[in-house]
């Protein structure tokens, strides 16, 4: 299956859990979940297994909470991550315009893994007060690690939050800085909850699908979308979808004054861009084994995709 990558702006994509964040922030020791037995149709976890994991470092704490320990293969994995300021004063945090959170999903004892990612831009995210933590629901973005099964399982994770049966480590990550321009202290918080996924009781097991025949395409392919003008004059929320309406990744926020930059992976051959929930005019055609560059323009109203050019992927 082709692994496509779409980048809005001039961002380098940071992969969650694969090296340090910009400026080499301090990386605390992650929570290590308890070991689990091999998967079976009716999965089981160790007696001390928990739906909650937490990691504190300096001024912040990251918590991950899942709805339960065992999910059916035909139901969405539900949970949330919470970033808490543990001091007595508010702190303005800086980092990627996509926000501080990302999630990894790794099959225990298997080769399936999705690695979350952030665009490598830097700007103010928001002020976090001790009484108002930042919270996000469990999402999936980034891309599948090469070498895993080519059966479309990752598309079901991205679109429906389904996972194949087995034992899985769900990891929440938060990367941020406490100084303007991503200076000061950097944080990379990481917490993991181990869950089971079973086919037992599943009435309607999903059939993996490949949008627009992407399983037959070579790869990787990449699309770079450059803002015209390159800097946002207002807050923008960018989302990507295939021409069949399949939504890819999560909505990504670009704040006023930031370079227009967002990213997602596992795209079909043609991709549409939504800004603030409205479709931009035009389609970005993802060329296999190439980098396709397009311009995202903002006329008096709406937005337009234009100026496509193609070159070999470096």
Of 159, 172, 135, 228, nearest in space to 53 by CA: 172
Instruction: Report the percent of the chain where pLDDT is more than 90.
Output: 28
Half-sphere exposure in the Cβ direction for 145 (13 Å, CA): 16
- How many other C-beta atoms are found inside a 10 Å radius of the C-beta of residue 37? 13
* 254-309 confidence digits (pLDDT tens): 767 767 766 655 566 777 888 877 888 988 877 666 666 777 888 878 888 877 77
pLDDT of the residue at 243 = 78
CATH 2.60.40.10 fits 14-198, yes or no: yes
* 17-46 confidence digits (pLDDT tens): 444 333 333 333 333 333 333 334 456 677
Task: Specify the DSSP class assigned to residue 129.
Answer: B
Instruction: Give bridge partners of residue 192 from the DSSP assignment.
Output: 171
Give me Rg for the CA atoms of the chain.
20
Q: pLDDT class for 14, splitting at 50, 70, 90?
A: very low
Torsions phi, psi for 159 (to 5 deg): -95, -30
pLDDT (average), residues 53-76: 93
Better-predicted residue by pLDDT, 190 or 263 = 190
* 231-266 confidence digits (pLDDT tens): 878 777 777 777 777 766 566 667 677 677 666 555
Domains in the chain: boundaries? 14-198, 213-312
The two tokens of residue 25 are: 């922030």
Instruction: Give bridge partners of residue 193 from the DSSP assignment.
Output: 170
The two tokens of residue 151 are: 């059966």
What pTM was computed for the model?
Answer: 0.58
The DSSP secondary structure of 136-205, one letter per residue, reads EE----SEEPTTS--SSHHHHHHHH----SEEEEEEEEEEEEEETTTEEEEEEEEEEEEEEEE-TT-SS-
pLDDT of the residue at 16 = 52
Q: 14-198 and 213-312: same fold?
A: yes
- Hey, which CATH number is domain 213-312, 1.10.1660, 1.50.10, 2.60.40, 3.30.70? 2.60.40
Q: In whole numbers, what is the pLDDT of the chain averaged over residues?
A: 75
- How many other C-beta atoms are found inside a 10 Å radius of the C-beta of residue 59? 17
């Amino acid at each position: 299956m082709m692994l496509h990558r779409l980048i809005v702006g001039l961002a380098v994509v940071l992969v969650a859990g694969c090296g340090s964040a910009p400026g080499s922030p301090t990386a605390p020791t992650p929570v290590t979940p308890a070991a689990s037995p091999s998967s079976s149709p009716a999965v089981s976890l160790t007696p001390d297994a928990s739906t909650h994991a937490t990691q504190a470092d300096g001024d912040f704490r990251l918590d991950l909470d899942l709805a339960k320990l065992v999910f059916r293969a035909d139901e969405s994995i539900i949970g949330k991550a919470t970033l808490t300021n543990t001091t007595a004063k508010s702190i303005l945090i800086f980092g990627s315009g996509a926000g501080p959170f990302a999630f990894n999903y790794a099959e225990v004892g298997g080769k399936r893994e999705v690695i979350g990612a952030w665009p490598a831009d830097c700007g103010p995210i928001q002020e976090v007060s001790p009484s108002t933590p930042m919270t996000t629901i469990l999402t999936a973005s980034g891309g599948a690690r090469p070498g895993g099964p080519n059966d479309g399982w990752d598309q079901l994770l991205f679109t429906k939050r389904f996972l194949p049966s087995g034992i899985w480590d769900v990891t929440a990550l938060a990367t941020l800085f406490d100084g303007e321009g991503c200076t000061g202290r950097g944080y990379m918080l990481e917490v993991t909850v181990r869950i089971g996924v079973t086919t037992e009781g599943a009435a309607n097991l999903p059939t993996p699908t490949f949008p627009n025949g992407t399983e037959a395409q070579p790869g990787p392919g990449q699309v770079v979308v450059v803002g015209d003008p390159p800097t946002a004059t207002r807050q923008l929320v960018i989302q990507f979808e295939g021409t069949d309406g399949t939504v890819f990744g999560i909505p990504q926020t670009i704040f006023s004054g930031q370079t227009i930059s967002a990213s997602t992976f596992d795209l079909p051959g043609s991709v549409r861009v939504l800004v603030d929930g409205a479709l931009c005019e035009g389609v970005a055609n993802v060329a296999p084994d190439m980098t396709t560059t397009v311009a995202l323009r903002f006329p008096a109203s709406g937005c337009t995709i234009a100026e496509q050019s193609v070159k070999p992927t470096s």
